[in-house]
Chain A
Amino acid sequence: MISRRSFFTSISALLVGGRALHAATQGSPGGDPEAPADRLSIPEAVQSRPAVVEGDNNGIIQTVEHKLKCTCGCNLDIFTCRTTDFTCTVSPALHRQVVALHENGATPDQIIDAFVTEYGEEILMAPPPEGFNLAGYLVPGLAITAAGTLLAAILMRRQAAAPVPAPVLTGAANVSAEDQARLERALSEVVD
């Protein structure tokens, strides 16, 4: 039977050994004594990122970045790309550019204008509604409105030209209780 002393000695040894094992797995492969205690055992399995700073959560910056496209070819806006594609090196750089402009006092519109000047209109997630771009915004609505108007006009004309229909039943008020019961009986026979 194991004594109390040997039990606690074993536990202490295990704890010390466990800590040593933990330190070995957390440390760098080379056992760098300068390495941080919370170092990952396989750091290359995770992308390395800069720490989040206050500007990263700024609502104005997020709004601006949603309107600007990342130029890495991903087809996403800067904010979405930098918070989704962690292999992209372009969106973090564009983000820093937005933050810098914002910190220099530029308004959202001025930031967007600066990007358009530097990268062209393609940097915008949606074309500005002016000039030829207006066609992009208006053509669907105009086409639907025109088609709807035409459809309504045709229907009205046909309605006007149609022969006068027989009087319309307007509800239970025009039907006696007896007729209603007969109708329901007849209909129920059809159903069953």
Chain B
Amino acid sequence: MTLLGEFALWMALLAGLWGAVVGFSGAWRTRPELASSTIRSVYATCAALLVASIALWQGLITHDFNIEYVASYTSRNLPDSYVVTAFWAGQKGSLLFWATVLSVFAALAQALTSRRHKELMPTVAAVTGAVVVFFVATMLFAANPFDRLGFTPADGNGLNPQLQNPGMVIHPPMLYLGYISITIPFAFGIAALLSRRLDSGWIVAIRKWTLLSWLFLSVGITLGMWWAYVELGWGGYWAWDPVENASLLPWLTMTAFLHSVMIQEKRGMLKRWNLGLIFGTFMLSIFGTFITRSGVIASVHSFAQSNVGYFFLAFLVLAGVFGFTLLYTRWPQLEPEAQLESVASREAAFLFNNLIFVGIAFSVLWGTLFPILTEAVRGVKITVGPPFFNRVNVPLGLLLLALTGIGPLIAWRKSSLANLRRQFIFPVLLGLVTASVLFGMGMREGSAVLALGLIGFVAGTILQEFYRGVRARIRMHGESFPVALGLLINRNRRRYGGYLVHAGILIYFAAFVGSSFKITQEATLAPGEFTEIRSPFGHVYRLTHLGVSQYTALNRIVSAATLQVEIDGKAAGIVSSEKRQHVDSFNRKTFEPSTEVGIRSTLREDLYVVYAGSIGGTERANYAVTVNPLVWWLWFGGGVLVLGGLITMWPGGGRTAVRSGLTRTQGATVEPAVEEAVPV
């Protein structure tokens, strides 16, 4: 099967090259059969890569340890689910996964895109073909997943224990799906520029793709936070690690695009900016892979490093020069079809929102690369860690939070003062009341009070929008509240799904604020001994060490340390944390003992217990205990965000008002909620 896999890779390379060369040459414009051939090359590439993937999976499942990749990332006693997901545990498999999924997306884009855009499709095929060719060539010439060893080991090395976690089964694919699907909007952008079809048609064609990409990235990032929290054992979920930052960067620019694209759809403005955002997002997704793979910046994700990072750097530069040069040459044809009329308009609010999104992206990128810059300029190595990023980005995050509330309250084109007053009174009051109540309850951390006050303000805007929309429906149609709410969302999924996304983001922010109050304490306990830790909410945990039990399970020796939990004297169950010594099928140690945290999660806070080790090989145990407020809400916020995203991208949901501003009476102001309840 490895021969078949390698052969399939070569076939994918040739098919992708054919599609790219013919598509970019433009010969298909005069010879329709070449257009069909270009598009068929996409399907051929996809089929070849699926065969290659099946071949690698076959090697993994049959424990063919003669394949270097299989021997490096699996062992005979590795649980089946991790054998299957070891496909993307290492770099070579990840590259194959990336190329295969991209080819599937490229094929879906060809199959599902409306015939209205058929003029763009050969060029779209060429761009996706070129990107696939890059990945396949990288595999064939630098990181071939089908490389064979000169001998066949009796067993493999096994999978890194930190990757033996359900989060890692799904987190990397989700993140990859986000990175990969960005290629489709990028391809449409290039196709629009090359074919000079520079109206807003291509934007419509990629709307679902950009949302899908954003959704995958959001899920991938959230699952990454969850994995870091439950697996790494440091009691947090975001450490501003370069690889984490690399996943955040395209998410930020993609989110900016999802806002600014509405201005292009409604007013025919920001065409250049939107193309720039799409190109930038694509480049940042490649940059993320470069950071992950090159090791140019120190990261906790060092297990993924190799020399292919510089292939990505070269590709990044090439794609950037090509895309932005093309944009420059089409600059005059991308004139806006309307002008901004007022600073007090939703267009202006979205522009400032875009500024902050891109500003935060720049700030994160700047901080990530600043050590390299400093070393180049001063010859001194420095570290840019969480204190730096928090100091620079927290104010920007708060500004963004405020704009999240302000934007939707302002009407398109222009808002009157009376309109603004009417829109802002309730949310501002809610924000002020929230901050005052928290201050009155004794919270004195300025940034926390400010953040929670702003959360109150934005929550007020969302509630107000829903309330007014529902009220308008009840008045017009006499519907009951639940029916009106359901139909309100159903008839304008994009807008109200968007509000749910905003609600999800608010919940994230609340959880972030909570994490600033976390408390960590260490203790050494013999069986029967206890330690106490006071929660930021005031109650006291008493944790009694019950002992350590050891047993073998699957591919590991487990040492489980257990604590009995009492809260203010009342029994609250037990929490166990484990040490896992992984072994191969010959019972040989494969890695250093890893830690599995014990978590008692409630809506209020998490009790997060780490069994740090034993005193002299006895049941006397060292524990690191953290009380982590509001963490549960982070995962809940992720769910709300995904729900909102799904509602937004669900097919149907009423007519989208493209360029509707031009059909309305000049200068008329319509309250946003009412406007969207009755899309004109």
A144 is an interface residue with CB less than 8 A from chain B: yes
Residues of B within 8 Å of A80, CB to CB, are 234, 236, 239
The bracket for how many chain B residues form the interface is: 35 or more
- B300 near A74 with CB under 8 A, answer yes
A105 close to chain B: CB less than 8 A: no
CB-based contact B667/A56 at 8 Å? no
Cβ B386 vs Cβ A125 within 8 A: yes
For residue B187, give the distance in angstroms from its CB to the closest CB of chain A: 29
B612 touches A49 (CB 8 A): yes
CA distance A190 to B657 in the complex (A): 12
Which of B7-15, B198-206, B356-364 has 4 or more CB atoms under 8 Å from chain A? B356-364
A158 to B343, CA, bound (A): 9
Q: Is the interface of B mostly helix, strand, loop or mixed?
A: mixed
Contact B618 A136, beta carbon cutoff 8 Å? no
A168 touches B668 (CB 8 A): yes
Among A4-12, A13-21, A33-41, A96-104, the stretch in contact with B: A33-41
B233 interface residue per 8 A CB criterion: yes
Given contacts A45-B559, A69-B383, contact A170 B419 (CB under 8 A): yes
> B622 near A140 (CB under 8 angstroms)?
no
Distance in angstroms from A144 CB to nearest chain B CB is 4
Contact A132 B374 (CB under 8 A): yes
Query: Is B614 a contact partner of A132 (Cβ separation < 8 A)?
Result: no
Q: A36's closest neighbor in chain B, by CB?
A: B618
Within 8 A of B (CB), among A39-87: 39-52, 56-57, 62, 66-67, 69, 73-77, 79-80, 83-84, 86-87
Q: Is the CB of A165 within 8 A of B341?
A: yes
Contact assessment for A143 and B383 in the assembled complex, using a CB-CB cutoff below 8 Å: no
Closest residue on chain B to residue A167 by CB atoms: B667
Contact assessment for A38 and B622 in the assembled complex, using a CB-CB cutoff below 8 Å = no
Residue of B nearest to A192 (CB): B477
Docked CA distance A44–B619 (Å): 13
B499-524 at interface with A (beta carbon < 8 Å):
520-524
Interchain CB contact (< 8 A) of B667 among A125, A144, A165: A165
Flag if B300 contacts A83 (CB, 8 Å): no
- A116 vs B351: C-alpha distance when bound (angstroms): 43
Within 8 A of B (CB), among A155-192: 155-156, 158-159, 162, 165-171, 184, 187-188, 190-191
Q: Whole-angstrom distance from the CB of A134 to the nearest CB of chain B?
A: 11
| A101–B300 CA distance with the chains assembled, in angstroms | 29
Partner of A76, one of B300, B382, B610: B300
Specify which chain A residues have a CB less than 8 angstroms from the CB of B385 in the assembled complex: 69, 75, 77, 125-126
Binds A, one of B276-284, B324-332, B387-395: B387-395
Docked-complex contact B613 and A141, CB < 8 angstroms: no
B370 contact set on A, CB distance < 8 A: 127, 135-136
Q: In the assembled complex, how far is the CB of residue B280 from the closest CB belonging to chain A, in whole angstroms?
A: 15
Closest chain-A Cβ to B419's Cβ sits at a distance in Å of: 7
Question: Is B396 in contact with chain A by the CB < 8 A criterion?
Answer: yes
Contacts A125-B387, A126-B391 hold; do A144 and B614 have CB atoms under 8 A apart? no
- Contact B476 A120, beta carbon cutoff 8 Å: no
Given known A48-B613, A121-B380, A137-B391, contact A87–B592 (CB-CB < 8 A):
yes
Tell me the residues in window 518-546 of chain B with beta carbons closer than 8 Å to chain A beta carbons.
520-524, 526-527
Q: Check A107 for interface membership: any CB of B closer than 8 A.
A: no
Q: Pick the contact of B343: A144, A155, A190 (CB < 8 A).
A: A155
The interface residues of chain A lying within 8 Å CB-to-CB of B559 are 40, 42, 45-46
Task: Give the docked Cα–Cα distance between A151 and B358 (Å).
Answer: 14
The answer for the CA separation of A45 and B186 in the assembled complex, in Å, is 50
A38 pairs with B620, CB closer than 8 A: yes
Does A124 touch B at the CB level, under 8 Å? yes
How near does chain A come to B570, taking the closest CB pair, in angstroms?
Answer: 25
**What residues of chain B lie closer than 8 Å to A120, measured between beta carbons?**
380-381
Taking CB atoms, residues of chain B closer than 8 Å to A184 are 475-476
B305 to chain A, nearest CB (A): 12
Q: Determine which of A40, A147, A187 lies in contact with B476 in the assembled complex, contact meaning CB atoms within 8 Å.
A: A187
Partner of B619, one of A40, A42, A152, A156: A40
Q: Which chain B residue lies CB-closest to A137?
A: B392
In whole angstroms, what is the CA distance A125 to B371 when docked? 11
B117 interface residue, CB < 8 Å from A?
Answer: no
A122: CB under 8 A from chain B? yes
CB of A147 to closest CB in B, whole Å: 6
Query: Cβ of A125: which chain B residues have Cβ within 8 Å of it?
Result: 383, 385-388
Residue of A41, A75, A188 with most partner-chain B CB within 10 A: A75
Q: Which of B340, B366, B581 meets A136, CB within 8 Å?
A: B366
Query: Is B595 an interface residue when CB atoms closer than 8 A count as contact?
Result: yes
Q: For the complex, is A148 an interface residue (Cβ under 8 Å from B)?
A: yes
* With A48-B615, A84-B610, A127-B382: A75-B241 Cβ-Cβ less than 8 Å: yes
Central interface residue in A56, A69, A155, A188, by most chain B CB within 10 Å? A155
Closest to A155 in B: B343
* Residues on A with beta carbons closer than 8 Å to the beta carbon of B491: 191
Q: How far is the CA of A162 from the CA of B391 in the complex (A)?
A: 40
Contact B382 A124 (CB under 8 A): yes
Let me know if B388 and A49 touch, CB within 8 A: no
Contact with A155, one of B340, B377, B679 (Cβ below 8 angstroms): B340
Q: Given the complex of chains A and B, what is the CA–CA distance between A74 and B363 in angstroms?
A: 23
With A39-B617, A76-B234, A162-B341 as given contacts, are A140 and B362 in contact (CB-CB < 8 Å)? yes
Q: Are A83 and B234 in contact (CB under 8 A)?
A: yes
Report if A110 contacts B (CB, 8 A): no
Instruction: Please state if B351 and A151 are interface contacts (CB–CB under 8 Å).
Output: yes
| Residue from the list B234, B414, B622 in contact with A52, Cβ < 8 A | B622
B170 on the interface (CB 8 Å rule)? Answer: no
Q: Write out the residue numbers on chain A whose beta carbons fall within 8 Å of the beta carbon of B669.
A: 168-170
Chain B: CB-nearest residue to A59: B519
> Is A1 in the interface zone, CB < 8 Å from B?
no
Q: For A56, what are the chain B residues with a Cβ–Cβ distance below 8 Å?
A: 522
Given A45-B559, A49-B612, A121-B382, A147 and B355 touching (CB < 8 A)?
yes
- B374/A73 in contact, CB under 8 A: no
Docked complex Cα distance between A171 and B474 (Å)? 19
Q: With a CB–CB cut-off of 8 A, which chain A residues contact B352?
A: 148, 151
Say yes or no: A188 contacts B384, CB within 8 Å.
no
User: Could you give, for residues 109-143 of chain A, a 1 whenever the CB lies within 8 Å of some chain B CB and a 0 otherwise?
Assistant: 00000000000111111110000110111011101
Q: Is the CB of A83 within 8 A of B624?
A: yes
Q: Which residues of B contact A143 (CB under 8 A)?
A: 359, 362
Q: Report the minimal beta-carbon distance from A75 to chain B, rounded to whole angstroms.
A: 5
Q: What's the Cα separation between A166 and B678 when bound, in Å?
A: 23
Given known A57-B521, A86-B595, A165-B341, contact A41–B388 (CB-CB < 8 A): no
Question: Which of chain A's residues have a CB closer than 8 A to the CB of B677?
Answer: 191
Contact with B355, one of A66, A151, A156 (Cβ below 8 angstroms)? A151
Q: How far is the CB of A156 from chain B (nearest CB, A)?
A: 6
Determine whether the beta carbon of B617 is less than 8 Å from that of A40. yes
| Pair B343/A156 contact, Cβ less than 8 Å | yes
Q: Select which of B232, B234, B340, B366 is within 8 A of A140 by beta carbon.
A: B366
A47 to B668, CA, bound (A): 71
Pick 8 A–B contacts, CB within 8 A, sort by A: A46-B579, A80-B236, A137-B391, A148-B355, A151-B351, A155-B340, A187-B678, A187-B680
Top 4 nearest A-B pairs by Cβ distance?
Answer: A43-B617, A49-B613, A165-B667, A140-B363
Chain A interface residues (CB < 8 Å from chain B): 36, 38-52, 56-57, 62, 66-67, 69, 73-77, 79-80, 83-84, 86-87, 120-127, 132-133, 135-137, 139-141, 143-144, 147-148, 151-152, 155-156, 158-159, 162, 165-171, 184, 187-188, 190-191
Q: A49-B614, A52-B622, A126-B386 are in contact. List 11 more A-B contacts (CB 8 A).
A: A43-B614, A45-B557, A46-B613, A48-B615, A127-B384, A139-B366, A140-B392, A165-B341, A168-B668, A168-B669, A191-B677
